């Protein structure tokens, strides 16, 4: 789909949803959400996250969809078309930096998924205590070359798919895999709900202690909302440039956000009962799900089969996300810099390989390089998700709310008046006031300026 210059369109509504959900659902839901929720107070984090999804996320997703479909262009071309004067295409640069930073650390975690898939196949995950799973992950992540090898392998797979323009194949595959992933997550949920720590786990996730909502919770929840929806960097805008005239923007944005959020919550419902059952601290950080999930699978009848299936599906989910983020810089190199697709893909992968290596090594030989207590990996994660994506989102919402022609917005949201949309005013209100000021306020409060 994406390599065609004649701008093929998604033929069905399902095609639209499957592709946007393919980008949105990935490690962000299954790996990042539980660890962020775990380190930021569980329920307090979840409620803040949900507020951001509905107050900022869905409206900004609508804005990216409108701009992308209305201009049939990537983020640079779109801003240039809509506002030839001014410096709005700079928002595109934020998107490129963010997409490359995310690709770099995301590939490390996708590499962990591959290692765990491999270990599930060889039976190395059949351990008998939570301590053993903890030790296993520590041993692996601090190994001098293993994580790096998997990171490189993952980036090569991503490269081969993107350069050969066979996204279509992967998308078709992920259309089948995503529903299966959804199904097995539900099975795992039921299993977790039967664990002795279920009550404690659910309480941790669903009963918010409002006093815990401080600026750090808000920054993380906001970052998670943007990260999970692939928002603020132009990914969704690029995808929307392939939407047809009939695509219902508001419905598509709402369905995408709801499915994405459901997967994150399912993941929380799987992890936290197990966390309390196994006596793990929810504040483990990035290691959390890799230490807890294998122990859950091990206790299921047919353990390794579940584990193989799960890590394989997670790998496909990660791949459909990295393909979508790679498209941001590739679209820039090909459409703005007139590079060939091959060169653009090589460049994108080469940069990600360099930074991905630094991220992978920051768990072992580079773990002494820290800024404000954060390793290179955490810095890449924090800066891209918590700063660059919301900043990009703020500019996009400001642009859509204040500078876009009202008739453009109206035509996009209602498909030239052919569908009735009751929430047009609410979306414009959010884009104009709620999202940009909200994002600025969260930034200011995290800098302790308010």
CB 28 within 8 A of CB 255: no
Question: Is there binding between residue 386 and ligand PFF (CB under 6 A)?
Answer: no
Return the number of the residue (227 or 380) whose C-beta is nearest ligand PFF. 227
Is 227 a binding residue for ligand PFF by CB under 6 A? The answer is yes
> From the list 235, 284, 298, 430, which residue makes contact with ligand PFF (rule: CB under 6 A)?
235
396 lies in the site for ligand PFF, by CB under 6 A? no
Q: Pattern of binders to ligand PFF over 15-54, x per CB under 6 A?
A: --------xx-xxxx-------------------------
Q: In the complex, what is the shortest distance from the CB of residue 240 to ligand PFF, in angstroms, rounded to a whole number? A: 13
| Rounded Cα gap, residues 92 and 233, in angstroms | 7
Residue of 213, 325, 361, 394 that binds ligand PFF (CB under 6 A) = 325
Q: Cβ closer to ligand PFF: 23 or 378?
A: 23
Strand partners, 371: 374
In terms of CB distance, is 295 or 324 closer to ligand PFF?
324
* Binding status of residue 273 toward ligand PFF by CB under 6 A: no
Distance of CA 91 to the CA centre of its chain: 19
Q: What is the SS3 string spanning 209-238?
A: CHHHCCHHHHHHHHHHHHHHCCCCCCHHHH
Distance between CA atoms of residues 289 and 109, nearest Å: 11
Minimum distance, C-beta of residue 226 to ligand PFF, in the bound complex (Å): 8
Between residues 273 and 392, which has the closer beta carbon with respect to ligand PFF? 392
C-alpha triplet 106, 108, 113: angle, nearest 5°: 95
Q: Read off the DSSP letter of residue 274.
A: H
* C-alpha–C-alpha distance, residues 110 and 312, integer Å: 11
> Does residue 223 bind ligand PFF (CB under 6 A)?
no
DSSP string covering 41-101: TTHHHHHHHHHHIIIIIHHHHHHHHHHHHHHTS-HHHHHHHH-SSSSTTHHHHHHHHHHHH
Q: Which is nearer to ligand PFF, 100 or 442 (CB)?
A: 100
- From 152-160, 229-237, 274-282, 364-372, span contacting ligand PFF (CB under 6 A): 229-237
Tell whether residue 324 is a contact of ligand PFF (CB under 6 A): yes
- Give the single-character DSSP code of 30: I
Nearest distance, CB of residue 381 and ligand PFF, angstroms: 11
Minimum CB separation of residue 230 from ligand PFF in Å reads 4
* 228 is an interface residue for ligand PFF by CB under 6 A: yes
Min CB(21)–ligand PFF separation in Å: 10
Which x/- pattern, by CB under 6 A, does the window 96-115 give for ligand PFF? Answer: ---x--x-------------
Contact 111, 105 (CB under 8 A): no
Identify the residue among 321, 345, 357, 378 touching ligand PFF (CB under 6 A). Answer: 321
Residue facing ligand PFF at closest CB distance: 28
User: What does residue 371 show for φ and ψ, rounded to 5 degrees?
Assistant: -125, 130
Task: Please tell me the count of residues contacting ligand PFF according to CB under 6 A.
Answer: 16
Q: State the DSSP string of 297-355.
A: HHTSTTHHHHHHHHHHHHHHHHHHHHHHHHHHHHHIIIIIS---HHHHHHHHHHHHHHH
Enumerate binding residues for ligand PFF (CB under 6 A).
23-24, 26-29, 99, 102, 227-228, 230, 233, 235, 321, 324-325
């Amino acid at each position: 789909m994406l390599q065609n210059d004649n701008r093929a369109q998604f033929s069905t509504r399902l095609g639209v949803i499957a592709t946007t959900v393919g980008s949105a659902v990935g490690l962000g839901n299954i790996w990042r959400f539980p660890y962020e929720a775990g380190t930021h107070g569980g329920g307090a984090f979840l409620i803040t996250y949900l507020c951001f999804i509905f107050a900022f996320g869905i409206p900004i997703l609508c804005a990216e969809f409108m701009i992308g479909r209305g201009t049939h262009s990537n983020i640079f071309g779109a801003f240039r078309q809509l506002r030839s004067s001014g410096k709005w295409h700079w928002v595109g640069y934020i998107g490129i930096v963010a997409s490359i930073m995310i690709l770099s650390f995301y590939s490390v975690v996708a590499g962990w998924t591959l290692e765990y898939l491999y270990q599930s196949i060889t039976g190395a995950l059949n351990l008998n205590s939570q301590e053993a799973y903890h030790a296993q992950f520590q041993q692996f992540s601090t190994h001098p070359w293993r994580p790096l090898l998997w990171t490189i392998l993952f980036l090569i797979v991503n490269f081969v798919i993107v350069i050969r323009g066979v996204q279509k194949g992967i998308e078709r595959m992920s259309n089948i895999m995503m529903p299966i992933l959804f199904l097995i997550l539900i099975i795992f949920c039921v299993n977790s709900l039967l664990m002795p720590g279920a009550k404690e786990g659910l309480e941790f996730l669903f009963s918010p202690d409002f006093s815990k909502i401080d600026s750090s919770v808000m920054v993380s929840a906001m970052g998670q909302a943007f990260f999970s929806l692939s928002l603020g960097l132009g990914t969704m805008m690029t995808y929307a440039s392939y939407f047809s005239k009939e695509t219902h923007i508001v419905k598509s944005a709402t369905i995408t956000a709801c499915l994405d959020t459901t997967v994150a919550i399912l993941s929380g419902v799987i992890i936290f009962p197990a966390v309390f059952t196994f006596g793990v601290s929810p504040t483990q950080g990035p290691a959390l799900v890799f230490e807890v999930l294998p122990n859950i699978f091990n206790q299921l009848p047919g353990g390794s089969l579940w584990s193989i299936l799960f890590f394989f599906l997670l790998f496909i989910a990660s791949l459909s996300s990295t393909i979508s983020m790679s498209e941001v810089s590739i679209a820039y190199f090909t459409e703005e810099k007139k590079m060939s697709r091959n060169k653009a893909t090589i460049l994108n992968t080469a940069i990600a390989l360099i930074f991905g290596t630094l991220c992978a090594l920051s768990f072992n030989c580079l773990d002494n390089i820290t800024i404000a207590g954060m390793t290179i990996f955490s810095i890449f994660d924090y800066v891209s998700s918590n700063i660059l994506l919301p900043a990009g989102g703020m500019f996009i919402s400001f642009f859509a709310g204040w500078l876009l022609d009202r008739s453009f917005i109206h035509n996009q949201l209602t498909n030239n008046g052919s569908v009735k949309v009751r929430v047009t005013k609410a979306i414009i209100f959010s884009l104009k006031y709620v999202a940009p000021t909200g994002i600025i306020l969260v930034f200011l409060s995290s800098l302790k300026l308010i």
